[in-house]
Structure 1
Amino acid sequence: MSNLKFTDEELQKFDEINAIYTNDISEKVLKSSGSHLIEFGSYLKTCESYHTNSTYKTEGYVHDMENMLALFIINHLIDEGFLTKKIREHGLPKSDIDITLTGTEEKIETIIELILNEFVAEDGTLYYFSKYCQLDLLWTVVLVLYAYHKYIDPFGIHDFVEEPRPIKNPIIPPSKAKIAIIGDWGTGIWQDGDLKYSPAELVINGVESLNPDYVIHLGDVYYAGTNNEEKQNLVKILEKKSLSNLYTMNSNHEMYDGAKGLYKESLSTPLFTGQRGRTYFSIDIGNWILVGLDSAYHDDSALYMKGSLYRDIETSAQHKFLNDISKQGKPIVLMTHHNGIGVADHKLNVNHKLWNQVTECLGGQMPDMWYWGHVHNGVVYNTEKLEFSDGTVIPKSTTNKTPQFRCCGHASMPFGNGSGFYKKESGVNVMIDEIDYYAHTKLDTENPTPSQKERVLNGFAMLEIDGSEIKETFYEVSNKNPTPNPMWSSK
């Protein structure tokens, strides 16, 4: 691995992290953060144990497996001089992995292939070294950034803003509108092999061509939602577009920088004035209310991966916010970054903490629609056919309807045909009964890179509200057909 070439962007990221860790940090701060750093080190050790104990060969796939080489890689980068040794002084444990990687990316990819028997996980995650694929080294490097902002930074993470900024001219709710939903869109513009446009460009150009009244980003600006990344990968791109009424949400990646880039850079610009400085919001359109909630800030899971709306229900601003809205009796479209439904061992499952918190906010019921990102895929679930092995029962919505669930996290990240969404029938891949659509149209390019051979097309969703009526459409875009192609519609 010492022979791997690093891009200028990667070297710049190393410099940013080194600058943070070499700043003077008081012994008092280190002492107070010590137990948490031990906890973080233990998490990385747990991830590593999937490799050292070879349990990745016998256990069902879990997402922590994707970090099983993280401790080894970080220590290796320290030994090679790319990352400062100060990181170890702040509590990073040594790796127990004793392997020699002779400079080939294929070596690590081969290890990953043993886990999955292929390079595409059940949810579509791609295990390649290519830009933004799961083995992109910067994903491992940002773990160090996450540890600093969560456990060491004397200023801590950004305060959670509850008081909205004053508004001069109250907005009269429209009776109808088109709302574009893009999830996990914050890669910015990058060179995607020989393709002319990267996915983020294709998606935002496609959205702009449909002339929506609102655009809602479900969160994730990469790699860690830093000030510069929020500026380059979100704000500057949107400033050049003819789009209005923009909203952007918090996510696990924004939290890797303590949500500082999100609050100080993105939410401070005129682009997102409708949010009034907060990471949660509501929009009244016709007879519907769109509600965006922050599922990242209060999450206490490792790497903010599972999602949570609050830690204390009694003092939660978001619980009161959603509960008060539900009392209006109107149908609700809820939006969170984190997912309510996932996939593991080729079975759909419930993300219980977030799921239960949503129902707690709504008096034991569900919103009429729930859109999320986080999982890099586009999925339309068929609620009537959803059955969970743990016996979870789906309650009715607050308007006594069957709730609808949508994953819309496929706006820019590379992903593949997730095996958790199809089954084999007579040797042919057939979509599972529990879903009506998922993104699996193969990327078609003349000179594909290894990861592009496994990739499928990115896309977005559009809601059209007219009074009490609502129509949903999922679109896909490509370099060969940049005009948004409707793949599924509710009407």
Structure 2
Amino acid sequence: MPERSENTSDKYLNLGHTAAENHAKTQQKLYEKHVAETSSVTRRLDEFFKTNIFGFAWHYLKSRFGKRHAYPFYPVDGDNGVYRMQPSDKEGAVTVTLLSDWANDTRESDQIAHLVAQDMPGYTLHLGDVYYVGTREEIRENFTAPHASWYFGKSGSLALSGNHEMYSNGNAFFDHLLTAMYAMEGDVKHTQRAGFFCLENDFWRVIGLDTGYTSVGHPLLEVLFAPDSHLRKEQTDWLEEQVRLGDPHDKRGLIFLSHHPVLSGFRKEYPRPASQIAALMAGASRPAIWFWGHEHRLIGYKFREVCRGLSIYGRCIGVGGMPVETDEPGDREVIGQLDFYDRRVRKKIRRHQVGYNAYVALTFRGNQLTASYKDLESNLILEEKWEVELETGALRHEVLRHTPKLSWY
């Protein structure tokens, strides 16, 4: 079993939302490691300036003002990024685990990863954010080093990018993380070649969308012109031509994954990808299930139309490793949007009430999908089920069970 990190998620409290602040945190982490390895003195001013301040300035200017990584897309070398889901057991069920905002190399994220490993899912999917800025070393610590705790599923392990990976222009994400990710089709191993993908069978399609690449802009202009996390043309072309999302005869259940939220009652929401999806479906009225991260909360939104022709069961699951927020929404209109919200407090740190880290285990059996939400103490928070009607694409939903402490609205 990989070593467990000694770091706790407490160090991520009050984490800023700008690239500059996160680059500074990365350099602070390198500085502390350097001091620990070279000196018994806890703080040396000369080393601080040498390792932290100047290092931060150089790395920030190089990565944020440098050229963004070229955008890879499918098809490439005969691979179209659409993969048949492989059964995870003898009965033909497919198991897929979703984690988001997980990669921060803390005891909490390691505990979540160890629970996932005990489940032994066929697929593990990360919905984005490698902290602080998605450098090669941060990806190594969380995913690829011998001591890293990420669980690679037997049938596949795939990743989406968040805004933090793009704080370093996506270079480590595309060149180092994706090269470790894959999907199996029989004995053929497909290395992930782009920041989006589709897993499918006769009843369901799980479509991972890249909203990270367009979540950052020019470091000077992005303050005035906030990026909207839209899907680039290469990705919408793929959805149209390879996934054939607009096929009126394909009524399989749709599950979309993204890092950025389509809906939010707390921070900025990003509706543009949903409007692009609806346009690709040529106005056909379709329900879908949509999981996202970015906000460090576990929330279910009421089933609703997010744009003409597309209604969703929205689920925010950005609780893989970061300190979980539990504050009550103050706006009555926001409260009216919520279905459930895990506001249980795991510990109190100064003025913060920190909640429970968690992950979601999906099980596909024929036309049924079960989503089990489990926290880092192995408690089942919620279990819900959808059934898809292949003739119409309709989804039937029911809650199977939940902890009494889960807040319902």
Superposition TM-score tier, normalisation by shorter sequence: 0.5 to 0.7
Q: Deviations over 1:97-155 (max 9, x none)?
A: xxxxxxxxxxxxxxxxxxxxxxxxxxxxxxxxxxxxxxxxxxxx69x8565334335xx
Contact 2:113–2:149 (Cα < 8 Å) also in 1: no
Q: Which residue of 2 aligns with 1:343?
A: 265
* AA at the equivalent of 1:308: H
Q: Which residue of 1 aligns with 2:179?
A: 268
Matches within 5 A, 1:145-164: 145=59, 148-153=62-67, 156-164=68-76
Gap change, CA 1:374 and 1:226, over 3 Å in 2: same
Contact 1:291–1:335 (Cα < 8 Å) also in 2: yes
Distance (Å, rounded) in 1 between the aligned partners of 2:121 and 2:379: 13
Gap change, CA 1:356 and 1:411, over 3 Å in 2: same
Gap change, CA 1:283 and 1:238, over 3 Å in 2: farther
Q: Deviations over 1:196-235 (max 9, x none)?
A: xx22012112222223221111011111111111111223
Structure with the larger helix share: 1
Gap change, CA 1:293 and 1:214, over 3 Å in 2: same
SS of equivalent residue, structure 1 residue 343:
coil
Q: Deviations over 1:27-82 (max 9, x none)?
A: xxxxxxxxxxxxxxxxxxxxxxxxxxxxxxxxxxxxxxxxxxxxxxxxxxxx9774
Distance (Å, rounded) in 2 between the aligned partners of 1:11 and 1:232: 13
SS of equivalent residue, structure 1 residue 178:
strand
Distance (Å, rounded) in 2 between the aligned partners of 1:324 and 1:217: 24
Q: Which residue of 2 aligns with 1:177?
A: 94
Q: Which residue of 1 aligns with 2:14?
A: none
Question: 1:258: Cα distance to partner?
Answer: 1.4
Q: Which residue of 2 aligns with 1:280?
A: 196
Of 243, 249, 257, the match for 2:153: 243
Distance (Å, rounded) in 2 between the aligned partners of 1:436 and 1:172: 30
Question: 1:343: Cα distance to partner?
Answer: 2.1
Q: Which residue of 2 aligns with 1:362?
A: 281
Q: What is the TM-score of this pair, normalised by structure 2?
A: 0.68
Q: Which residue of 2 aligns with 1:10?
A: 28
* AA at the equivalent of 1:343: G
Counting aligned pairs with the same residue, the percent is 17
Q: Deviations over 1:241-260 (max 9, x none)?
A: 47331111111111111111
Of 378, 381, 405, the match for 1:486: 381
* AA at the equivalent of 2:102: W
Gap change, CA 1:323 and 1:472, over 3 Å in 2: same
Gap change, CA 1:484 and 1:145, over 3 Å in 2: farther
Question: 1:406: Cα distance to partner?
Answer: 1.0
- Asked if 1:228 corresponds to 2:137, the answer is yes
Gap change, CA 1:213 and 1:471, over 3 Å in 2: same
Question: 1:187: Cα distance to partner?
Answer: 0.5
Contact 1:145–1:256 (Cα < 8 Å) also in 2: no
Matches within 5 A, 1:30-41: none
Q: Which residue of 2 aligns with 1:441?
A: 344
Question: 1:270: Cα distance to partner?
Answer: 5.8
SS of equivalent residue, structure 1 residue 454:
strand
Gap change, CA 1:204 and 1:300, over 3 Å in 2: closer
Question: 1:353: Cα distance to partner?
Answer: 2.2
Q: Which residue of 2 aligns with 1:83?
A: 53
Contact 2:215–2:228 (Cα < 8 Å) also in 1: yes
Distance (Å, rounded) in 2 between the aligned partners of 1:8 and 1:152: 18
Matches within 5 A, 1:363-382: 363-364=282-283, 365=285, 368-382=288-302
Contact 1:165–1:277 (Cα < 8 Å) also in 2: no
Distance (Å, rounded) in 2 between the aligned partners of 1:13 and 1:359: 47
Structure 2 stretches lacking a partner, 5+ long:
1-23, 35-47, 184-188, 385-398, 401-409
Question: 1:435: Cα distance to partner?
Answer: 2.2
Q: Which residue of 1 aligns with 2:362?
A: 463
Q: Which residue of 2 aligns with 1:31?
A: none
Distance (Å, rounded) in 2 between the aligned partners of 1:8 and 1:354: 30
Distance (Å, rounded) in 2 between the aligned partners of 1:298 and 1:188: 26
Gap change, CA 1:289 and 1:7, over 3 Å in 2: closer
Question: 1:342: Cα distance to partner?
Answer: 1.4
SS of equivalent residue, structure 1 residue 291:
strand
Structure 1 stretches lacking a partner, 5+ long:
1-5, 17-78, 88-140, 190-197, 385-391, 424-430
Question: 1:475: Cα distance to partner?
Answer: 1.8
Contact 1:298–1:309 (Cα < 8 Å) also in 2: yes
Q: Deviations over 1:261-301 (max 9, x none)?
A: 11211111265654532211111134001111111213455
Cα RMSD of the aligned pairs, angstroms, is 3.8
Q: Deviations over 1:443-474 (max 9, x none)?
A: 14xxx6426x5111111112211111112222
* AA at the equivalent of 2:295: V
Question: 1:11: Cα distance to partner?
Answer: 5.7
Distance (Å, rounded) in 1 between the aligned partners of 2:308 and 2:26: 51
Task: Kindly name which structure, 1 or 2, has the bigger radius of gyration based on alpha carbons.
Answer: 1
Question: 1:326: Cα distance to partner?
Answer: 4.2
What is the count of residue pairs matched by the alignment?
327
Distance (Å, rounded) in 2 between the aligned partners of 1:393 and 1:461: 23
Question: 1:487: Cα distance to partner?
Answer: 3.1
Q: Which residue of 1 aligns with 2:407?
A: none
Matches within 5 A, 1:62-461: 82-84=52-54, 145=59, 148-153=62-67, 156-164=68-76, 173-174=86-87, 176-189=93-106, 198-236=107-145, 241=151, 243-244=153-154, 245-269=156-180, 274=190, 276-299=192-215, 301=217, 302=222, 306-310=228-232, 312=233, 316-320=236-240, 324-327=244-247, 328-344=250-266, 351-364=270-283, 365=285, 368-383=288-303, 394-397=307-310, 403-420=312-329, 432-444=335-347, 449-450=349-350, 453-461=352-360
Distance (Å, rounded) in 2 between the aligned partners of 1:13 and 1:163: 42
Contact 1:166–1:276 (Cα < 8 Å) also in 2: no
Gap change, CA 1:178 and 1:7, over 3 Å in 2: closer
SS of equivalent residue, structure 1 residue 368:
strand
Distance (Å, rounded) in 1 between the aligned partners of 2:282 and 2:330: 31
Question: 1:239: Cα distance to partner?
Answer: 6.6
Distance (Å, rounded) in 1 between the aligned partners of 2:302 and 2:280: 24
Structure with the larger strand share: 2
